[in-house]
């Protein structure tokens, strides 16, 4: 761990100058209490650094949470082993998953499963209790439930160190969460402009706890976090269903782990009650299970938190980008992506669509996990055998 200044600690051995400057600017804000913590995967983001943990007193910064509220990971370990899959063609399984789970931007379900209907009922009741109106943001939010999206979101079938089969996926609150976030980001920016608040960047605009706008955001935020968790749970159910049909028998669910990595919660740290924003970071309180994915073609990890106090009980959320999508497309080739994905079932016929997700565009996950050794214990190491992504 490096102390960059009195209000900024870093666990990132791989930290670009641009990201460092951005994190320093965030740490100067007067409501930071007492410091910002940079995770091992930290990299430059809009307004504030991705892979940062930001405790604030009396305010929240909607853009610091980000536009994919509640984005995170879910994983289920089945009772299947690698030997159960030996000799089977994974292509039909991947194609079944791509039919059952809408992938890519703007792709949603035309019909709702019974499990989706049950989860929607719960989300409707939560919206009523919290005085939230998701309809104002996205009239089709119900049909967004159980959809993956694009970018770095993915579905994988993996094997752990004991050759046990896992379903592993990454997604968030989809279009409805994005619209909720953008609505409140704009309100915060307008408010700070109205008050002539000097900010290092407009995306560090905040909402004070005493204002109605603050609590409106918190209510919407909590609903979007619940939607994101339900969205991942619905997709896990669908993928497991595809696995059952492809395998020809029950596959079970021995354990399930889920975690957010873009969210804000009320927590107590260093004797203070703060709004803790984990922007690309997971809860790693002592004994809490978590998931840290690598990039496309690399390994991922199931972990248990150590409760590291200076990090606000946090850990990295993944490998973290090393190059922008544009730069990745300039630097790397489809042949290099195909080489990185050797031995993995994936949509190789559309390889160019995924070039900006090549492992070389991300930080070295092995180094990220080495930097995180004081934050988490590794329980399982997962290697991909099947990958589904949206283009």
Instruction: Provide the annotated active-site residues.
Output: 317
Residue 333 token pair:
């080739």
Cβ atoms of residues 182 and 67 within 8 Å: yes
The owner of tokens 């107590």 is 268
Q: Is 132 exposed, middle or buried (0-12, 13-18, 19+ CB in 10 A)?
A: buried
Considering only CA atoms, which of 99, 1, 22, 6 is closest in space to residue 308?
1
d(CA 121, CA 21): 45
278 to 67, 242, 259, 265: CA distances (angstroms): 13, 33, 11, 9
Cβ atoms of residues 354 and 326 within 8 Å: no
Cβ atoms of residues 152 and 361 within 8 Å: no
The owner of tokens 């379903």 is 167
Instruction: In the chain, count H helices and then E strands.
Output: 11, 17
Cβ atoms of residues 221 and 176 within 8 Å: no
Cβ atoms of residues 78 and 50 within 8 Å: no
> What is the radius of gyration, based on Cα positions, of the chain?
20
40 to 52, 237, 355: CA distances (angstroms): 9, 32, 24
Q: Is 102 exposed, middle or buried (0-12, 13-18, 19+ CB in 10 A)?
A: buried
- According to DSSP, the residues that pair with 290 across neighbouring strands are 303
């Amino acid at each position: 761990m490096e102390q960059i200044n009195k209000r900024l600690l870093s666990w990132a051995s791989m930290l670009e100058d641009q990201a460092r400057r951005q994190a320093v600017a965030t740490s100067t804000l007067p409501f930071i209490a007492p410091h910002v913590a940079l995770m091992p995967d930290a990299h430059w983001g809009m307004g504030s650094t991705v892979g940062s943990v930001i405790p604030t007193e009396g305010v929240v910064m909607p853009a610091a949470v980000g536009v994919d509220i509640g984005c995170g990971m879910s994983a289920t370990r089945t009772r299947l082993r690698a030997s159960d899959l030996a000799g089977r063609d994974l292509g039909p399984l991947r194609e079944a998953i791509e039919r059952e789970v809408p992938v890519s931007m703007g792709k949603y379900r035309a019909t709702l499963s019974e499990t989706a209907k049950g989860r929607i009922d719960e989300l409707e009741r939560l919206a009523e209790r919290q005085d939230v109106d998701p309809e104002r943001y996205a009239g089709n939010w119900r049909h967004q439930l159980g959809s993956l999206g694009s970018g770095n979101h993915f579905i994988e079938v993996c094997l752990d160190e004991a050759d046990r089969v896992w379903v592993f996926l990454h997604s968030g609150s989809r279009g409805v969460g994005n619209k909720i976030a953008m609505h409140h980001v704009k309100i915060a920016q307008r408010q700070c402009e109205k008050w002539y608040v000097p900010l290092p960047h407009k995306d560090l605009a905040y909402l004070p706890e005493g204002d109605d706008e603050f609590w409106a955001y918190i209510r919407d935020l909590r609903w979007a976090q619940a939607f994101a968790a339900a969205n991942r749970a619905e997709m896990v159910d669908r993928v497991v269903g595809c696995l059952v049909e492809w395998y020809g028998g029950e596959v079970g669910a021995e354990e399930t782990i889920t975690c957010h990595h873009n969210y804000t919660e009320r927590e107590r740290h260093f004797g203070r009650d703060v709004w803790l924003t984990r922007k690309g970071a997971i809860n790693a309180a002592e004994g809490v299970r978590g998931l840290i994915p690598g990039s496309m073609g690399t390994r991922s990890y199931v972990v248990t938190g150590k409760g590291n106090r200076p990090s606000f009980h946090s850990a990295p959320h993944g490998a973290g980008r090393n190059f922008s999508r544009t730069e990745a497309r300039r630097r790397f080739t489809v042949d290099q992506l195909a080489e990185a994905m050797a031995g993995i079932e994936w949509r190789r016929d559309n390889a160019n669509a995924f070039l900006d997700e090549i492992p070389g565009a991300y930080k070295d996950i092995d180094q990220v996990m080495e930097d995180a050794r004081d934050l988490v214990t590794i329980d399982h190491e997962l290697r991909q055998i099947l990958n589904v992504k949206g283009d």
